[in-house]
Structure 1
Amino acid sequence: MEAKKSKNADLENKRSLFFQIGLILTLIAVFMAFEYKSYDPYATRVYIRELDNTPDQFIEVTVQKKELPPIPHTPNFPIAIVDNTVEVDDEPIIDVNAGDATEIPDFQPRLPEEAPIIDNTPVTVPEIDPEFPGGLAKMVAFLSDNIKYPEMARQTGIQGIVHLNFVVEPDGRISNVTVLRGIGGGCDEEAVRVVQSMPNWKPGMQFNRKVRVSFNLPVRFTLYH
């Protein structure tokens, strides 16, 4: 007995439908393949910032043009025309009367004597520095032995450094003792008094001659409890 397929079980009738579905799926797969973007985690990313199209603002500086003063009028003077054909003797003409024999002494102009220029400005950096008798250690000992701590500064607890300036003269004397920066309480005056009482120093030298030298000296006042 021959077996027959029913119309519902026969797939030949649905062949065109399956073909259309397969074609649609194929087109979708191709479209997705073109639209798919792969990202490399190690790739360099470039960020583009949108530029601001706002024009730059400038501050306008107005310069006032100065009017130039009028050019003064120069009067036109007549020009004297000299005839170059006339010979002129450049040598001075001296008329000497032979009958008058007069001896003319030699003229020797007297030149003014130039006074020597002496610069009394103290030198700050001489070739050879001035020196206290015996050196720096002797100067420190002299200051320590002669400076007396002022009672006012002692009672009020004032201590610090008094900065002095003085000039060592060419003969070694100390002059022009001034306080550059003081601390008060009588310490400034005491430091000036002791420096003025210093013995003569060995003077400074500049260009093989003794000169005035400016010298700075800090004097420290310290209280010990």
Structure 2
Amino acid sequence: MEAKKTPKADLTKKTGLFLNIGLAVSVGLVLFAFEYKSYEDFGLKDLGTIDDDFEELLDIPITEQPPPPPPPVEQPIIEEIPDEVEIEEKIEVNFDVDVKEETVIKEIVIADAPVEEKADAIFDVVENPPEPAGGFEGWNKYLSSNLKYPTQARRMGIEGTVYVVFVVNTDGSIQDVDVLRGIGGGCDEEAIRVVKAAPKWTPGRQRGRPVRVKMRLPIRFKLS
């Protein structure tokens, strides 16, 4: 036979109630644990008043130091000379020079130092410039009789003035002939040839001495 239980004795119907009650009790215990405060009685001790002497330590009197003494001044040593000692100065005067009224002092004239002129120096301007044989009139005659018009310049119709430069030596000979400004067509070469073949010139003179002089002359080429 199966045992029969009364409905009042069946506890399974109240499990939910018991569960809620258990949860409520657990939550309450947890909150109580967090909110619970405990205090320890260590006992208060009366420290009383502490005597400090900080102000006394900080109040230090200022010590005054006297200024350093000045350095000793060295007094000059004065040597006394007795009055009996006389200081003698010996001055020698020579009166052996005989001065006569008739003595004449010559006047000293300072002359300028002579200007040294180098023999190889070439002058551009001198007191007496060089001249060709027979003067410049004879020079024009020499050119007219010896100057040949170049065939190339004549064929091309070239005419104008060739400027030549050369040096007249102390013996009147001519050297270093060159064209200063030419016109081309063979005229430059012809002008150099004529000047080199010219007879000797009269040399230029500076302070009465023959010197080398640089000359510049025009030679004109004109078609007739």
Report the TM-score range of the alignment, normalised by the length of the smaller protein: 0.3 to 0.5
TM-score by length of 1: 0.47
